[in-house]
Structure 1
Amino acid sequence: MNVSRIFIRKYSLLPNLKPLNILFFGSDTFSVQSFEALQKLRTTAIPGTNLPYVDRIQIVTKPGKWCGRDKSTFKETAIAIASKKVPNVPLIECDNMKDLMGLTDVVTKNNINTLIAVSYGKLIPDQLIKTVPYCMNVHPSLLPRYKGASPIQYSLLNKDKYTGVTIQSLHPTKFDCGEVISQTELLSIVQLLELPSSKNRNMELPLNTSKLTDQLGIKGGEMLQNVITNGLYLAGMHNNPVKPGIKPSFAPRISNEMKRIIWATEDAKTILNKKDVLGPVYTYINCRPVTKKKQRGSANSTQEFTKRIIIHDFSVIDNTNNTISDHLKPGSFKYSTEMGKLLIKAYGPTLLAVDTLQFEGFAKETAEMFINRLHKRGGSTDIEKANFV
């Protein structure tokens, strides 16, 4: 039996693949996972040829920014940092629509035939999409669920059991409205959070958001390799329709207001989940300045004012022993000298046991330091009757 013939027949069912010259749009560590997956295809030959699946990659990302106090730290995107570690990967910075439109010349001069966008954060213009035969987007949800900028955070906030990754075409006028090319199976969020982290995990993100972004990034990179090596991006080759039962929903950009604790409805576990997804949460406390002799024409010196309190580190404990009276409303608090923690009553039979927090305008501090300084900062606030709002 002729072995070479068997080899050719085995791969004759595959479409006629040609090397891809890719313009890759990315920003964060989720996009780095897809970029590294594409890099591996630069050294993997299309069966029956000596040509690689991916010939060239050029990166498009947002410009770096000066951050921190006095703008003393220059911060580049994760994809920019990753690209500089790989030879022969040009980096292009685009900050607005005019810059993006200028990429049509790059496409023409470099024979780009594929656009791939992964967590880029800007809409790729229709005029640019029309210059290439293939375009793809890797999105960390099972579309049409969680269209938008924050699918990972919403899946965690809503305590979904499952999530996944979708590869779709790029829609010329809307985010996440392209034709689905491929989707993962339903992936257990609990199991994903238990998997070991990759080297690309962003430790600056909140705990669970960091873990899930990392794992879905890995899955997205693997699926992108599968789509390319099997030619699923070609017309008529899409093999994985939208999962049944997935209802359309949106995951808009996370706002700072979402980090506020709603004492009347949120139990301690919900607040802890919010912190692990969005980062430190916050609340407010009503303060009243110490009464001073009123000067003619001055405002009332006893008028209340509100200060923000950021709660950084805490755990959840039961209130079954009535540590804080059930008769008190959620948001009531007291300091436990035995535990060295500030105990805050949440909705239901649970408490927040706070280790560190931050009074507006001051540095992060321990619960003991916070309670000792509260009277001075809060003026004539009655600490025994005070509560967060």
Structure 2
Amino acid sequence: MLRLSCGVTFAPRLRSAFLQRRCSSSEITRKASDPLRILFCGSDAFSCESLRALHREHETNRGLVESLDVMVLPPRRTGRGFKEIKEVPCKSAAEHLGLRIHQRETFRNWSMPEGTNLIVVVSFGLFVPPRILKSAKYGGLNVHPSLLPHLRGPAPIHHAMMRGEEYTGVSLQTLDPKSFDHGTVLAQTPPPGLPIPANATLQHLTEDLAKVGAEMLVQALRDGLHVPPYRDSGWMAEQLHGKNLVHAPKVGKGESQINWLEWMPLDFERFVNIFGTIWTHVRNDKGKFKRVLFLDAESVSADEVAGREGEVVFRVEAGTEGEDVPRTLRVDEERDEVHVQTAHGGWVRVRSVKVDGKTTQKARVGLREFLRR
């Protein structure tokens, strides 16, 4: 596994460095292309960056991008009781750009706009069937935020961070008619990849990879990489030859559960940076377990730990089974914070928590009912 590197917070100069790294598409020879009539399929904020880049190219270089239509998924119900209807961000972006939008939940019984000769898919969620791919002269392209074939799947950025990897990157691939993320890699971030700072948040890393992917996509179109015959420019596949590939499936609430048996202080920090909050079950003074969210967690040295000492029993759940894990906790009334012992004797500082059924509280108040003195 790639190891986590030390780094600094994402700053403008680092974002600039991301964009200055050119994709690997060795010894490019520009190939002639018809003017492109693109169907863009996207959903989230990551895909919006590629859509905006294509639109800028359409505005300034119609000889390359002649037209641009957008396909998005229908709104979905979210929130408590699923009462809120939420549109995908890509629809708002397309509306702002004045583009024609096709909102559908399936390709079944649907034909592409007449003349479409390239499909571009970025973080879309639907598989493009062979019937649709074959109807476009240049098939389809996909921007994927990992160094393929490493971390195929819908959540590569999450998994790269969860695994504590040192580097990540972006791959531009053709759309495979049979499987997700099995196309020819036309361009890829050069080795060793782009560094993941130790304190990067999911949002910042996603924003930066989105910019890298958007630039890679447009440059590939300018260079005619979408025109067959394709040339495989991926380098990671050779490095992973003979090894078991790591998949990046969708993440759920279970991934943000605190693993008291294994997590060390930096794991707490990293998972807060990924998910915003982390959660656990804690036994109260009546012997019942309650779900508690940690809204922050910061690694501290043993010298910084102070306050009244007690013990808290946490629970690590896996499927239908669980294991109780007692941990030392120190309540620092003076600094209004709580220090919690982690695996292997480390410590984290927690300032805010949310106990099920209650509003956000100071950690020293919210964890009081769980403290065994």
**Please, what TM-score do these two structures have when normalized by structure 2?**
0.80
> Is this contact kept in 1: 2:185–2:232, CA < 8 A?
no
Name the residue aligned to 2:339: 343
Name the residue aligned to 1:85: 96
Name the residue aligned to 1:3: none
> Is this contact kept in 2: 1:101–1:128, CA < 8 A?
no
> Is this contact kept in 2: 1:263–1:346, CA < 8 A?
yes
What is the CA-CA distance between 1:261 and the residue it aligns to?
A: 1.0
What is the CA-CA distance between 1:323 and the residue it aligns to?
A: 4.4
Name the residue aligned to 1:227: 220
Instruction: Tell me, in whole angstroms, the C-alpha distance in 1 between the residues paired with 2:233 and 2:34.
Output: 22
| Cα 1:140–1:327 shift into 2, 3 Å | same
> Is this contact kept in 2: 1:181–1:232, CA < 8 A?
yes
What is the CA-CA distance between 1:336 and the residue it aligns to?
A: 1.1
Instruction: Tell me, in whole angstroms, the C-alpha distance in 1 between the residues paired with 2:75 and 2:311.
Output: 52
| Cα 1:72–1:364 shift into 2, 3 Å | same
Matched residue type, 2:221: I
1:129 has 2:133 as partner: yes
What is the CA-CA distance between 1:71 and the residue it aligns to?
A: 5.4
Compare the two structures and name the one with the higher strand fraction: 2
Instruction: Tell me, in whole angstroms, the C-alpha distance in 2 between the residues paired with 1:267 and 1:283.
Output: 15
Name the residue aligned to 1:188: 194
Instruction: Tell me, in whole angstroms, the C-alpha distance in 1 between the residues paired with 2:189 and 2:210.
Output: 12
Superposed CA deviations along residues 246-273 of structure 1, whole A, max 9, x for unmatched, are: 4532111112111111112111111111
Superposed CA deviations along residues 204-230 of structure 1, whole A, max 9, x for unmatched, are: xxx611011111110111111111011
SS state at 2:351 partner: strand
Matched residue type, 2:55: Q
What is the CA-CA distance between 1:310 and the residue it aligns to?
A: 0.7
What is the CA-CA distance between 1:322 and the residue it aligns to?
A: 6.7
1:114 has 2:124 as partner: no
> Is this contact kept in 2: 1:358–1:364, CA < 8 A?
yes
Among residues 280, 286, 299, which one is paired with 2:283 in the alignment?
286
How many residue pairs were aligned? 326
Name the residue aligned to 1:254: 251
Name the residue aligned to 2:180: 175
Among residues 65, 68, 83, which one is paired with 1:57 in the alignment?
68
**Please, what TM-score do these two structures have when normalized by structure 1?**
0.77
Name the residue aligned to 1:102: 109
What is the CA-CA distance between 1:26 and the residue it aligns to?
A: 0.4
1:151 has 2:156 as partner: yes
Q: Which runs of 5+ in 1 are unaligned?
A: 1-12, 46-50, 195-206, 290-303, 375-380
1:213 has 2:220 as partner: no
1:245 has 2:243 as partner: no
| Cα 1:338–1:166 shift into 2, 3 Å | same
Instruction: Tell me, in whole angstroms, the C-alpha distance in 1 between the residues paired with 2:59 and 2:53.
Output: 11
Instruction: Tell me, in whole angstroms, the C-alpha distance in 1 between the residues paired with 2:311 and 2:367.
Output: 22
What is the CA-CA distance between 1:170 and the residue it aligns to?
A: 1.0
What is the CA-CA distance between 1:189 and the residue it aligns to?
A: 2.3
What is the CA-CA distance between 1:349 and the residue it aligns to?
A: 3.7
SS state at 2:343 partner: coil
What is the CA-CA distance between 1:239 and the residue it aligns to?
A: 5.9
What is the CA-CA distance between 1:90 and the residue it aligns to?
A: 1.0
Instruction: Tell me, in whole angstroms, the C-alpha distance in 1 between the residues paired with 2:97 and 2:304.
Output: 59
> Is this contact kept in 1: 2:306–2:330, CA < 8 A?
no
1:354 has 2:342 as partner: no
Instruction: Tell me, in whole angstroms, the C-alpha distance in 1 between the residues paired with 2:183 and 2:77.
Output: 35
Name the residue aligned to 1:163: 168
Instruction: Tell me, in whole angstroms, the C-alpha distance in 2 between the residues paired with 1:226 and 1:38.
Output: 10
- Quote the RMSD (CA, aligned, Å): 2.5
Percent identical pairs in the alignment equals 23
Deviates more, 1:165-174 or 1:216-225: 165-174
Q: For CA contacts below 8 A with separation 6 or more, give which structure has more relative contact order.
A: 2
> Is this contact kept in 1: 2:297–2:348, CA < 8 A?
yes
| Cα 1:237–1:127 shift into 2, 3 Å | closer
Choose 1 or 2 for highest CA Rg: 1
Instruction: Tell me, in whole angstroms, the C-alpha distance in 1 between the residues paired with 2:233 and 2:328.
Output: 52
Q: Which runs of 5+ in 2 are unaligned?
A: 1-28, 313-324
Superposed CA deviations along residues 129-157 of structure 1, whole A, max 9, x for unmatched, are: 12112211110001000000111111112
1:319 has 2:302 as partner: yes
Among residues 11, 15, 27, which one is paired with 2:43 in the alignment?
27
| Cα 1:27–1:311 shift into 2, 3 Å | same
